[in-house]
Structure 1
Amino acid sequence: MSTTTVTTWFLRQTSPADLRPAAAPAGDVRIVRSGVPSPEFSRFLYTAVGGDVRWTDRLGLGYEEWRALLSAPGTETWVAYEDGTPAGYAELAAGAEGAVEIVYFGLLPAFRGRRIGGRLLSYATARAWDLGERWPGLGATRTVWLHTCSQDGPHAKANYLRRGFSLYDTRVAEERDAAAPGPWPGAFARPSEGV
């Protein structure tokens, strides 16, 4: 089986003052917290956003595993909607010693390149900084961090850097090649000629 060299970058903010918000995109874009932990909705977002960039780590999880992840204290899903249609999401998870990870972040392919990503990242990062206010007992956020890799969208790392994240670690590894799973079976198959 062939492999690909994948570079993973770890980025963080160590103060709320690090955040450099993006300008609001044109159009009716709203960002709303998904208040009910819903494995069905979260799996939809995960596959729709990550299907073309090889997000596969959660594909094998069962319903109860999804529910447990989403129901953990300090875990939140923030969804961007454009004109009422889900455009992308960010999943936050509180960790040890005041660290909050932006576990997943991205846009559905049809919504990329429309300035929604900068706005969603700005909003999600601000929500990571005030996460402790919504979850009594967690304490104040001390750092917000995330990782991206060379297989993610071409503008992902630049968006993080523009929002005030700084690089603190880089890792390079060989990973087995896998086809992009797509949001459904055959999503990236070419249509037959004459159809």
Structure 2
Amino acid sequence: MELTTWYLEQSDVSQIRPGREPATAAEIRQAELASPELSRFLYTAVGGDWFWTDRLPWTWQQWNDLLTAPGVETWVAWVRGTPAGFIELDGRHPGIVEIAYFGLLPGFTGQNLGGHLLAEGLRRAWSLHERWPHQTPITRVWVHTCSLDGPAALANYQARGMSLYKTEVTPAGPITETPGPWPGAGDRGNPVNPA
């Protein structure tokens, strides 16, 4: 089995292309208070189906250290009071912002929410230096995704104006079951009815 990793970037805020209007109204707000519990919930709820495992062994302190680092921001999409997805921005390096994590909870896919959240997240990334005095004006926003991520991830990044600059193909071990949001969660289908 091979794993393909794609690296994408933008070099100017003018490259952002908006997504289509979401099928249901969503509010995107910054999680202004560091909350390891919230961030771990979002990470497992979104990434559990896509092999996001690198942070699963993190301690509360590791989460807190990241979330309180200058230039790190979490933006959450809310639908009718329920968290629907998030985007984590990492602006700890001068002039550069990485989209560290981005995605939707399973019940909110297929409603144009992903394109809307990503476009808004990109706008926030390009303006990050206005909120963090240590940060210089942003000259680059980048992200990587891989063949184990959601099937719409690469297309969404490109549709929002990000350009592919590198592709890596590496051997990967056998694919096992994804960890899910918690052990035993099983198939959750699409439990959300936004209407």
Superposed, 1:4-43 pairs within 5 Å as 4-43=1-40
Structure with bigger gyration radius: 1
Residue in 2 that maps onto 1:143:
140
Question: How many Å separate the matches in 2 of 1:57 and 1:134?
Answer: 28
In structure 2, the CA distance between the partners of 1:29 and 1:62, relative to structure 1 (3 Å rule), is same
Residue in 2 that maps onto 1:73:
70
* TM-score (ref. length: structure 1): 0.92
Q: Tell me how far 1:145 sits from its aligned partner.
A: 0.3
Gapped runs of 5+ residues in structure 1?
A: 191-195
CA contact (8 A) 1:54 1:178 kept: no
Q: Deviations over 1:88-129 (max 9, x none)?
A: 000000143411000000000110111000000000000000
Q: How many residues align?
A: 187
Deviates more, 1:55-64 or 1:26-35: 26-35
CA contact (8 A) 2:89 2:100 kept: yes
Residue in 1 that maps onto 2:91:
94
Structure 1 residue ranges (4+ consecutive) displaced by more than 4 angstroms after TM superposition: none
The partner residue of 2:182 within 166, 181, 184 is: 184
**Alpha carbon RMSD of aligned pairs, Å?**
1.3
Question: How many Å separate the matches in 1 of 2:176 and 2:67?
Answer: 27
**Does the alignment pair 1:160 with 2:190?**
no
Question: How many Å separate the matches in 2 of 1:96 and 1:41?
Answer: 24
Residue in 1 that maps onto 2:192:
none
Q: Tell me how far 1:5 sits from its aligned partner.
A: 1.0
Question: How many Å separate the matches in 2 of 1:93 and 1:138?
Answer: 11
Residue in 2 that maps onto 1:175:
172
Letter matched to residue 184 of structure 1: W
Q: Tell me how far 1:28 sits from its aligned partner.
A: 2.1
* TM-score (ref. length: structure 2): 0.92
CA contact (8 A) 1:7 1:171 kept: yes
Gapped runs of 5+ residues in structure 2?
A: 189-195
Residue in 1 that maps onto 2:193:
none
Letter matched to residue 153 of structure 1: G
Q: Deviations over 1:142-178 (max 9, x none)?
A: 1000011011111110000000000001111122334
**Does the alignment pair 1:123 with 2:120?**
yes
